[in-house]
Amino acid sequence: MLALEGVKILDLSRVIPGTFCTMLLGDLGAEVLKIEAPATSEFPGSSSSPQEASNLKQAAYYAPNRNKKSIVVNLKSEAGQEIFYRLSQHADVVVEGFRPGVAKRLGIDYETISKLNSRIIYCSLSGYGQEGPYHAFPGHDINYIAMAGILGLIGSGEGPPVIPLNLVADFAGAALYGALGISAALLARNNTGRGQYVDVAYVDGAVSLMTWFACGYFFDGSVLKRGQSWLHGAYPYYAVYETKDGKYITIGCLEPHFWENLCRLLGKVEFIPYHFAFDHTFHKPEDEKWDEIRAFLKEVFLTKTRDEWFELLIHNDVPAGKVYAPHEVFSDPQALHRQMVIEVDHPVLGKIKQVGITPKLSDTPGKVRSLSPLPGEHTDETLEELGYEREEIESLRQAGVVY
């Protein structure tokens, strides 16, 4: 048995945060039906013909659509809306990522669908949420993390902020919080018997990720500054260092005993007293000793390769991490042991590698049951299950309602 087995999700998402959200739920057993728009595709490089060999391979490797079925429906048509209404009567969850107001214009908003199915859980993912003075504004991850106070804290104190990958607002703020909100609403429905609306804003999620960092500000007005706190690389005990082979190693000696381990390993016991003090939380150190320590560490880490340092540090109980290129992650023994790289059988392409499933549930573990479908691969099957006759389906296809 899978944890979310029997939960039926209608996935209206058109961009990756919504798609990743439903992938997470699908990995845990939910039945996800992706309702795609005509002549669109999420994975780059695909042509308009889903049957081409290149699309078959791209779809197979496009992990965000795994554990899903796909139909292509024109929701701008009355007949297409009717298909969605029939589907929603048998569904548990709807996930959409349109800009606020679009679902209502299409006639597939929560108010409409909840009248057809009072148990439906309807999750909307949008940049600034469904209400408020910014709700209609456009945006992307870079805009949301800027507004959440995150971008201004990334990078050194010199020059502009450093733009990270879109992991914070898109994948954490929207996708993870979306999956959490849906899961909580499903649990609540077991007690109330009612569905509900789940309003997830990318920027809300990003602000929520700042919770711990905001404590000092709410307490006494203390404000973090980029490159000047103990977690920004301002201190040599929590930093990145270049190694002999031109690669990089990280150390994270936040606790005094870890710093002591490193100092003793390097024969620098006189550095031991120079560690964390409360004012390091918000301010860069002024003592010249810190410059001496950092200069020494920069020099010493250039004497061995990254991997040599990692083995030496770890075996002396010093927190360290190799700065990997992406391809190195997927051959790391820990990632392999934790099954964060998996192989899934494809009927044409053979073994397909993908990133594995994160929550390791002991009794109801997640599973990749199927690879990503081609757009519209399950249109006929799904419509037949809804009671449409073959002649009706063909008529809908000729009219451009389904594909």
Selecting among 140, 279, 317, 345, the annotated active-site residue is 140
Q: Is 170 an active-site residue? A: yes
Q: What is the DSSP string of 122-183?
A: EEEEESS-SSSTTTT----HHHHHHHTT-GGGSS-SSSSPPPPPTIIIIIIIIIIHHHHHHH
**Alpha carbons 97 and 287: distance in angstroms, whole number:** 51
Q: Which of 144, 25, 42 is nearest to 94 (CA)?
A: 25
- Which residues fall within 8 angstroms of residue 36, CB to CB, at 6 or more apart? 70, 71, 72, 73, 375, 376
Q: How many CB atoms neighbour CB 375 within 10 A?
A: 28
- CA 269 from chain centre, in angstroms, equals 42
Name the helix (H) or strand (E) containing 20: helix 16-27
Contact 298/241 with Cβ under 8 angstroms? Answer: yes
Q: How many CB atoms neighbour CB 108 within 10 A?
A: 23
Selecting among 109, 170, 199, 204, the annotated active-site residue is 170
Amino acid at 27: D
Starting at the edge strand found earlier in the chain, the sheet holding 238-242 runs 238-242, 248-252, 320-322
- Which residues fall within 8 angstroms of residue 262, CB to CB, at 6 or more apart? 237, 251, 253, 313, 316, 318
Catalytic residue numbers? 140, 170
